[in-house]
Amino acid sequence: MRVLIVGSRSTLGRHLANRLKITHEVRMAGRDPAADIAFDMETGVGSGAGEAFDVIINCAARFGGATLAEETAAVRVNVAAMPTLVALARRTGASQIVNVSSISVYGPPENEMFNLYGLTKRQGEDLLTFLGAQAGIRVVHLRVSGLYDAERLFAKRQPFLYMLIDRAKKGEQVTLFGRVDVRRNYLFSSDVAAMIEGTIEARLEGVFDCVSPESPTVSEMAEQAFNAAGRAATFSFDESQPDMKRLHIPRGDGLYRALGFTPTVGLVRGYEAILASDSLRP
């Protein structure tokens, strides 16, 4: 199968390419000079003309920020670029688009962490579904939870998780804010890559939540980090601080039933992989 991954600068895109190259022909499109195909989701520059693919996987995203430029970029890439993505699929003959989305699309009151990223990803889903149907292209949205890996390539997006294992490794006190022991959900990058590979091979269509079967509380996350590091757990709640925000964690397992797949890397094993990778660094 010929696969085009859009988002050559995406950490997940690079992880995915390494896995898919084993059994598929993979090309990368994006703004990175090393990309196989020059393509800018934000401006629409680049064509992919002369290429043919079976499936396009969209890993490109902007997370927004505090500035007008960052907010505008999120709207352009996560929403306004969907016609460009469908046009790319039509030019290259791709019959399926896999859109990597996020559980951040779920709004308040259940999701107190709802922000511009979640809003624009949700709007992008709707627009891509509509345009894909018009073009006769199968579209599937995979709403993934928090992504992390052993090499810390996702550290910028998951500072809390990596902070816990760093404090645990050093045997330092962890202070959790507020009175509420909120839950979190994380997926290891290799499990997400396996889900996406299964999705393209099964030619799925629709919307699927992709979350870990484990949704530990933040105190459980801290305890597991200390256990993985072989240290006595030392953490407490500072009730003078505002409560940590709740995250809506959907319960759907439709994708796993469709693929006959269950994530294999739980949080403890993920922590251990981070520590093992750290030990190999000078």
What letter would DSSP give residue 2? E
The backbone torsions φ and ψ at residue 147, rounded to the nearest 5 degrees and listed phi first, read: -95, 140
CA–CA separation, 167 vs 237, rounded Å? 15
CA–CA separation, 281 vs 270, rounded Å? 17
Contacts of 145 (CB under 8 A, 6+ apart): 102, 103, 185, 186, 187, 210, 211, 212, 249
CB 216 within 8 A of CB 160: no
pLDDT at 252: 79
Q: What's the pTM?
A: 0.94
pLDDT at 101: 98
For 13-40, write each residue's pLDDT tens digit. 999 999 999 999 999 999 888 888 888 8
Torsion of CA 213, 262, 155, 168, to 10 degrees: 60
CB 73 within 8 A of CB 33: no
For 81-124, write each residue's pLDDT tens digit. 999 999 999 999 999 999 999 999 999 989 999 999 999 999 99
CA–CA separation, 228 vs 265, rounded Å? 14
Structural domain boundaries in the chain: 1-144
Residue type for position 57 = I
For 224-252, write each residue's pLDDT tens digit. 999 999 999 999 999 999 999 999 999 87
Rg (CA), the chain: 19
Q: What is the mean pLDDT of residues 126-135?
A: 98
CATH number of 1-144: 3.40.50.720
